[in-house]
Amino acid sequence: MSYSDSTKKLVLITGAANGIGLATARKLASSGHDLFILDKDEAPLEAAVAELSALGAKTKSLVLDLSKSDQIIPALDAALAGAVVDQLINNAGVGFARNVESTSFDEWDLTIDINLKAVFVMCKYFVPKMVAAGGGEIVNVASAASIIGLKNRVAYCASKAGVAGLTRAICADHAAEGIRINAIAPGTVDSTWIAKILADAPDPVATRKLMEARQLDGRMGTPEEVANGIAFLLSPEGRFVNGSLFVMDAGLTAV
């Protein structure tokens, strides 16, 4: 059976214990795919494995801190044990509510390490393996912040703009070898990360209203909506989409 004939995929998802990552894992589990999910937090990762397994998906997991880039490849080698990953979703991310003056060097390094460097390392590891297998699909979770500047998100904006550029460059180099790679750019998504930001805000209610107002329909997106977009990009229906920044932001970047 050739790669293009295969309907059941092994999909690896980073940051899969909650939010967009978990919603995407649920979506793909319901489509019959096998899953390999990564996260740095063990307890919610174990809960995700139990949930996805109950949905009928063959699910394996790996606790991995993607900020430690020198540990990523050895950990993958040991955990995968030769298994062929057909599709990769680089979803894990972090952010701080800081401007350029208040962002510490440690916060800058952590944001770049997880949001951008880890995506590079994962792609560096999997692209040659996918090429050898006849092809593969990759979705990198970027952000509307790849396109526009957001207040008090200086390191986050820089990292996500880097994800968009990295995605295009990999497409340019490897599309002819069967690699289909896209970045998805959500607007503000009602997730555990947003909940943490709101919890730290001086006025959570007012901050939430501002976040909702970014989208032209006046509400945040949901992890499930973004998961639908990721599933499309991975699917045969998305075959003609490659090297794109696939925007899902309810018009945030349109004005």
Residues belonging to the active site:
156
C-alpha to C-alpha distance for 13 and 87, rounded to whole angstroms: 9
Pairing type for strands 87-90 and 179-186 reads unpaired
84: DSSP letter: P
Helix, strand, coil percent content, the chain, rounded in steps of 5: 55, 15, 30
SS3 label, residue 247: strand
Measuring CA to CA, which residue among 171, 21, 161 is closest to residue 90?
21
Strand order in the sheet with 136-141: 59-63, 34-39, 10-14, 87-90, 136-141, 179-186, 245-248
* 182 phi/psi in degrees, rounded to 5: -135, 160
Alpha helical stretches, state H, the chain = 19-30, 42-54, 69-80, 105-112, 118-133, 154-174, 192-200, 204-214, 223-234
C-alpha to C-alpha distance for 242 and 30, rounded to whole angstroms: 25
